[in-house]
Amino acid sequence: MKYGHFDDRNKEYIIQKPDTPYPWINYLGSEEFFGLISNTAGGYSFYKDASKRRLTRYRYNNVPTDAGGRYYYIYEKGEYFSPAWAPQKSNLDSYQCRHGLGYTIIESEKNLLKTEMKFFVPLGDNLEIHQIKIKNLSNEHRKIKLFSFLEFCLYDAEDDMTNFQRNFNTGEVEVDGSTIYHKTEYRERRNHYSFYTVNQEISGFDTDRESFLGLYNSFSNPDVLKTGESNNSIAHGWSPIGSHSLEIELNAGQEKEFIFQLGYIENKEEEKWESKGVINKNKAKKLISKYNSSDKVNKAFKKLSKHWEKLLSSFSIKHPDPKLERMVNIWNQYQNMVTYNLARSASYFESGISRGIGFRDSNQDLLGSAHMIPERVKKRIKDLASTQFEDGSAFHQYQPLTKKGNDKIGSGFNDDPLWLIFAVAAYIKETGDYEILKETVPFNNGKKATIFDHLEASFMHVVNNLGPHNLPLIGHADWNDCLNLSAFSEKPGESFQTVSNKDNSPAESVMIAGMFLTAGPDFVHLSRKMNKNKLAKKAEMALEEMKAAVNKYGRDDEWFVRAYDYYSKPLGTKDNKYAKIFIEPQGFCIMGGIGLKDGFAEKTLDSVNRKLNSEHGLMILDPTIKEYQINMGEVSSYPPGYKENGAIFCHNNPWIMIAETIIGNGERAFEYYSKIAPAYREDISKLHRTEPYVYAQMIAGKDAASFGEAKNSWLTGTAAWNFVAISQWMLGIRPDFDGLKIDPCIPAEWDEYTVIRKFRGCKFKINVKNPKNINKGVEKIFVDGKEIEGQLLKTHDKDESKVEVIMG
């Protein structure tokens, strides 16, 4: 069942039923101010950090779901309704929500009133705009009222939902004309406040939640809407809100427009006050005036649209399959930008409280955004490197507001260091900017270091932390946070990721070994570029030793072993009762070059297809674990078929897609791609539940009661890795240190496709023809009509070049 459709021309997903299987959301903002907005205007807003600078309140896991948001009510003659459907669940005559790139538009009709609400964050400023149009479709003159409503969060989102003995006494506001200022704690330790305003004279306001709603009412039936009159309440503690009431007269056929703004302001300490107890509003008034008319807002929206058009112009495909086009050209790259901005910090599944910017997460996300925002990627690499310890380990997360490591999670995830090599190599392959290696970024302890020093520390962290089989020690966990081989947790509520009941654990990870072999050759190349030839030779020897260890201890009969536990017993072998095969090492060991010469790679991938493939994608392990295994940790705490215990963990499906292209199996690679790509799952939206335009982290596996149901959408490394898999390995347009490598691996039935790829100042129009209908192989490449040797497009002075690729 479908709840809407794609509008590829306008780059929108149009939702036509408000009661979607789960709230389908979008993201507003692309710099420092962000908002999450659902298809019925739910969600919340924040500045930089969803934990420490939350502007509006949202209730996770609430009944009804999606409680809290940007609510508007239209009142007429004693009756009222919500033009966004929520929170009243209004019986609208028509409804549609258009989620676009950085904006959402909700349109509806009821009682011959047409409403359009456009929500977006303009570039360069810290505020959210709500552009609202109301049109009278009747033949009569009408008098209506428009009420706004949002609930202020007291900035620290965790404290806001727990510390009521304090918070119910601290709330403070000011009202000046049509602007409501939220200034809780501004009188003491804060130098920031938020505001909510409208560009019209108001007939009333409320800033106290109980006065607006009534103590025992919900958002759907506020007291104020029973009378149609605001109370002009001023919040003193309790729960501050922002609500305006506007009296509106509309002639027959007339439309009026209103601009609401929710913004964030910081003042210098010496400029905090206008007068005693009155906040300095100069910055706010200046910002408000910048967007206080339709012309100004329309100009800002056009600028936002051009911004996204430019970002998406770096890579696009023309192909007979519209689902492939919309994923590659629009939604996958859009999701890549959202994950770049927020890592795993703020979604409808991540509360924005417990997680900051992840070291592993962001380094992977950069793989999908380096072609769009290389300068911002460079800056993020430096931020990430600054959280690294001198021994190569790193804080697992850092807080975006302070850019300091998150002590709650700490370090000890032994895959983390290697992801920095992946990210830096990807950036250099994209830009050719080797100078980044010389840039100074201190270690976490303040010791001076270059980016290359950080990469050396990352590489050597593996070399210096090997176990009894010469395989990398796993630490708390590797990429699979739930494979906790040293936790041995027996207490409810203990964090599997931070508790370690087995000191000096010898548990090892074959997956990290595969990562080491995959990223290692890039480190060798960069070492030579830095004229560190002795280090390069040392690294090559370490790679050879690791390859030998994997070949000796990392293979089962028909696939790669996953790990060795605390007792040095292998996991992920045919002899295990559960979890005989895991997906992760199968992809990375083949990417690292293991098994390509002796046929073991083909045998491994046949095993993956036979044991892990399902109609909804590749499962992370099989068979699922049926009872808690104390030596395996959180992976065994999930019911069979969910999350790391046998779900289709979409993040690692692309590693198998890439492995399949390495051995030349284009059919299987694209089969796996199309099983989890959201546009291909749109027809089963009722089962899938989450948004049909962005990837989810996981889809319930075959042992789950809800096989095929997705969870944890939007913020997932699935986005970047699937873009890498489809763009670089299947379509075969792959950045390399010396140019753009052309190496497609596609289904044999594909006859032709064209890719536009901007690369190092040149726009390449690459037409790939497959006259012999093969999976892999390039016979000839012509650049501007001249045949070249090899498969590498070198950069040159031309702004544009036409490339013809003949497979064969």
- Tell me the per-residue pLDDT of 591-647, one tens digit each, with 9 for 90 and over: 999 999 999 999 999 999 999 999 999 999 999 999 999 999 999 999 999 999 999
C-beta neighbour count of 405 within 10 angstroms: 22
Q: Band the pLDDT of 403: cuts 50, 70, 90.
A: confident
pLDDT digits (tens, 9 = 90+) for 198-257: 999 999 999 999 999 999 999 999 999 999 999 999 999 999 999 999 999 999 999 999
Query: What percentage of the chain has pLDDT greater than the value 70?
Result: 100
pLDDT computed for residue 684 by the predictor: 97
Beta-sheet strands, E only, within 586-671:
613-614, 617-618, 621-622, 648-649
pLDDT computed for residue 411 by the predictor: 84
pLDDT computed for residue 404 by the predictor: 82
Residue 139 clears pLDDT 90, i.e. is over it: yes
Which residues neighbour 789 within 8 Å (Cβ) at sequence distance 6 or greater?
Answer: none
In terms of pLDDT, which residue wins out, 189 or 373? 373
Residue 753 clears pLDDT 80, i.e. is over it: yes
Which residues neighbour 85 within 8 Å (Cβ) at sequence distance 6 or greater?
Answer: 18, 19, 40, 92, 95, 108
CB 731 within 8 A of CB 317: yes
Please state, in angstroms and rounded to a whole number, the distance separating the CA atoms of residues 17 and 1. Answer: 11
Please state, in angstroms and rounded to a whole number, the distance separating the CA atoms of residues 353 and 367. Answer: 26
Residues 26-39: b if buried by 16+ CB within 10 A, e if exposed? bbbbbebbbbbbbb
pLDDT digits (tens, 9 = 90+) for 283-318: 999 999 999 999 999 999 999 999 999 999 999 999
412 backbone φψ class: left, alpha, beta (φ>0; ψ -120 to 50): left
pLDDT computed for residue 265 by the predictor: 98
Residue 573 clears pLDDT 90, i.e. is over it: yes
Which residues neighbour 242 within 8 Å (Cβ) at sequence distance 6 or greater?
Answer: 148, 149, 150, 152, 180, 182, 196, 205, 207, 262
pLDDT digits (tens, 9 = 90+) for 413-465: 999 999 999 999 999 999 999 999 999 999 999 999 999 999 999 999 999 99
Beta-sheet strands, E only, within 77-159:
79-81, 94-99, 103-110, 113-120, 127-136, 142-155
Q: Is the dihedral of CA 705, 707, 713, 718 positive or negative?
A: positive
Residue 408 clears pLDDT 90, i.e. is over it: no
Residue 354 clears pLDDT 80, i.e. is over it: no
Q: Band the pLDDT of 400: cuts 50, 70, 90.
A: confident
**Which residue has tokens 């009408």?**
142
Residues 631-649: b if buried by 16+ CB within 10 A, e if exposed? bbbbbbbbebbbbbbbbbb
- Output phi, psi for 413, to 5 deg: -95, 105
Catalytic site includes residue 743? no
Residue of 481, 565, 622, 743 with catalytic role = 481
Rounded average pLDDT over 34-44: 98
Residues 782-797: b if buried by 16+ CB within 10 A, e if exposed? ebeeeeeeebbbeeee
Residue 407 clears pLDDT 80, i.e. is over it: no
Which H/E stretch holds residue 767? strand 762-769
Residue 410 clears pLDDT 80, i.e. is over it: no
733 DSSP β-pair partners: 742
Residue 795 clears pLDDT 90, i.e. is over it: no
Rounded average pLDDT over 92-115: 98
Q: Band the pLDDT of 699: cuts 50, 70, 90.
A: very high
Please state, in angstroms and rounded to a whole number, the distance separating the CA atoms of residues 509 and 520. Answer: 16
pLDDT computed for residue 501 by the predictor: 82
Q: Band the pLDDT of 754: cuts 50, 70, 90.
A: very high
Please state, in angstroms and rounded to a whole number, the distance separating the CA atoms of residues 747 and 726. Answer: 12
Tokens of 700: 């319930």
pTM of the entire predicted model:
0.97
Residue 749 clears pLDDT 80, i.e. is over it: yes
pLDDT computed for residue 356 by the predictor: 82
Please state, in angstroms and rounded to a whole number, the distance separating the CA atoms of residues 179 and 199. Answer: 9
Rounded average pLDDT over 11-21: 98
pLDDT computed for residue 506 by the predictor: 97
Please state, in angstroms and rounded to a whole number, the distance separating the CA atoms of residues 713 and 685. Answer: 13
Residue 153 clears pLDDT 80, i.e. is over it: yes
Residue 129 clears pLDDT 80, i.e. is over it: yes
129 DSSP β-pair partners: 120, 261
